[in-house]
A and B are shown apart, each in its own frame.
Chain A
């Protein structure tokens, strides 16, 4: 069974990671960039869980780690979205290219 092997999970997480990185670099909307970062974090989560399931002797470590990552990702997105709202109030746009007040 394909589902019971490590490699498909690693490929999925690598795909998610590259999609996230690509999206972060290419998208110009702040919310899309934050979503792209979430993809990266979830790629890491899949890695932790897959390694934990298939390789690790101690079956709890990777799960604990991914719970920490999920919790911190929630905090991060809360700060990120509140900043997006602040940006929208000041600039009337959430396009990252409109943030050009600081240039030296």
Chain B
């Protein structure tokens, strides 16, 4: 039943928040609970529509196993973002409805992007999600940094999407169709043309921007520092997952010819990983550090795309799914710790283990998982990625990635050391109180990270099944 699907629910939620924002009365508490309710509904809709298949609007919107699985992850991320947006100290109460509205439209754009079957849908949904995010960043209260961050985000974003649309126009001219399957059919005769590769690379610019990969990564640190923590968590996880999914879809259009791309991909992946990890070493602002760490993580995600086979793509998607949860864990802890919504620096983690053992444990597991410490989910994901890379003949790339994850361990451990090894809290830092949803979220996250780490067989069949779409199974 199509009207239970996640797209319908997100549209309804966006309308709901829109009308709520027109009301004069301010009842933030009710709005927060309703927002969580809509998030849960969207997640339920995504679970429900996991089995939906179909092609709509003349092929411009397609639901296949891949898109439905990615939508499930996006819906989970949306739900988490709404649940952790309880204590928005840095956003004025009167614009909270707008905050939820744009969060919903951003998710709607990403969900549509994953299902896009032609270039018009792809461009429109990409811009829907980007524009919503440009507006979400400067909602932060009395902070000139957030306006600056949003301006930088917007400038990079519109330039990237402009380059992308120019690439699309060349692709349209070469293939004379905007339909992705139509393009895929025309490709084998085009791959010998130089202009095709120019067009293809220009078209990828928008997704490199979404994933904050090397040539288009410079916005990430400033935006992460300037934006409010919940939104930044959303950008770094959900938005990235959607970008990864569309990147996989576009690259898989090439079929076996994608091997011609591997040189450039390897350079992008290596530079993103190394640059991200080295720059993260010297940061003292937690969000800025997570920004560089997310650039490096995007580099890891690309490894599976480089492999281009079923194993590689499944590994990428598995790691992307796990990454959504573990990164949200880190951002959640940062958002709880921050005082009056200000940015969190390393010293704010002093004595976290005595202020709130549960938060400290969540933080430790999330960061260990990001670093790839066994037996957590992040380790398993990295294991799949690196083994897929070395089995596909990219041994040097896998080796470089392993060295990179060792480097990353240093800056993740610095935070954990602050949280655990300095037991004397400051004078004003009393015990941290977590709401019920916060506690439930922590427990769920801990369970997910350990279960997906110990028993990857729970998640892996789903992932493999969804990637099988590209291999005609």
Contacts and interface: CB of A to CB of B under 8 A. Distances in A.
9 A-B pairs with the lowest CB-CB distances in the bound complex, closest first: A47-B169, A51-B173, A40-B162, A90-B144, A102-B222, A44-B169, A44-B165, A44-B166, A99-B148
Interface in B94-127: 119-120, 123-124, 127
Interface residues of A, number: 44
Contact of B169 (A48, A99, A102): A48
Contact of B151 (A10, A20, A30, A68): A30
A104 B149 CA distance: 13
6 contacts: A17-B166, A33-B155, A40-B162, A44-B165, A90-B144, A90-B148
B168 interface: yes
Nearest to B148: A99
A10 B168 CA distance: 14
B138 A83 contact: yes
B151 A47 contact: no
B178 A40 contact: no
Interface string B197-226: 000000000000000000000000110011
A86 interface: yes
B265 interface: no
Interface string B404-448: 000000000000000000000000000000000000000000000
Contacts of A13: 166, 169
A25 to B, nearest CB: 9
A20 to B, nearest CB: 7
Nearest to A6: B173
Nearest to A16: B166
**Majority SS at the chain B contact face:** helix
Contacts, number: 116
Interface in B138-183: 138, 144-145, 147-152, 154-155, 158-159, 162-163, 165-166, 168-170, 172-173, 176-178
A104 B152 CA distance: 15
A31 to B, nearest CB: 11
A15 B124 CA distance: 25
B135 interface: yes
Interface string A22-65: 00100000100110010011011101101100011100011011
Interface string A72-104: 100110011001101100110000100101101
Contact of B144 (A40, A62, A75, A101): A101
Contacts of A34: 155, 158
B196 interface: no
A69 B122 CA distance: 12
Contacts of A79: 131, 134-135, 154
B138 A86 contact: yes
Most buried by B among A10, A17, A20, A37: A37
A40 B120 contact: no
